[in-house]
Amino acid sequence: MIQETAPAPFGARLRRAMDERGPLCVGIDPHASLLADWGLNDDVAGLARFTRTVVEALADRVAVLKPQSAFFERFGSRGLAVLETAVVEARERGALVLMDAKRGDIGSTMAAYAATYLDPASPLFSDAVTVSPYLGYGSLRPALDLAAAQGCGVFALALTSNPEGAEFQRAVREDGRTVAATVLGHLAAENAAAEGLGSYGAVVGATLGDLSAFDLAINGPLLAPGIGAQGATPADLPTVFGDAVRNVLPSVSRGVLRHGPDTGALRDAAARCADEVRAAIDQQEARQ
């Protein structure tokens, strides 16, 4: 009897991809306005053309591609079919796929969400998924456990880049800790036994300025949206993340995608951004 090899943990695969391809996540966010900028119709054909171009341009060279599920779901089953194809082709070309779905629920519903993105039998099987912990961190357990079993990753919302996020995330609990600090603490506990980078990450906005009041040393990846259109730059990363900057995975969408539909321009934009991020991280580590 041949024994199946256990899948490599997501954290280990992510570290390798970031070291080899550069510390960058590129979002696949087919906004209606972006489709128009590319000269495409806001329909399934335009969606498919846009998505295929991004995958063909970047999946063999960036560490992570992050499809935003909502922009595919709005076209119904045909949009989801485009997403299914993109996930498979991106992974075949060597990119890690982080599904930006931000799912959160309880019990069997959360287990169904987890199976949708983290079960190899699913047509949307991805390397990692974003989740919302605001029904209580324990509600994420089905996703956390399935991710561990399948060598996948989970990114929980902690300190997001949108201004409204502070209303809940910085609220103070009875024990004196903020909700965001509590989420970070749970993630650190999940990663405590990991050798190298853990597989349980936090979403922490790159636009938030000095976060030294929060312990970002969770031994896991820190997905950092906000680079580019939201105003943050790679040079801001050391200020925001401090000593944890080496575990940061900056996410950029429009800052790269606006250079399409030319394949070469997309590749050049992604390469420039990855180089700028690597330079900022190297400078911070040189100071330590």
* 223 burial level (CB within 10 Å; 0-12, 13-18, 19+): buried
Among residues 102, 246, 272, 278, which one is catalytic?
A: 102
Active site residue 102: yes
Helix (H, G, I), strand (E, B) or coil at 95: coil
CA–CA gap between residue 23 and residue 17 (Å, rounded): 8
DSSP codes, 243-279:
GGGGGEEEEESHHHHTTTT-HHHHHHHHHHHHHHHHH
Task: List the structure tokens of 97.
Answer: 């796929």
Strands 25-28 and 153-159: unpaired
CA–CA gap between residue 179 and residue 106 (Å, rounded): 19
- What's the Cα-to-Cα distance from 112 to each of 31, 117, 122, 125, 141, rounded to whole Å? 27, 9, 11, 13, 12
Burial 92-108 (b: 16+ CB within 10 A, else e): eeebbbbbbbbbbbeee
Q: 14 forms bridges with which residues in the sheet? A: none
CA 20 to chain centroid, in Å, comes to: 18
Give the residue numbers annotated as catalytic, written as ranges.
Answer: 102
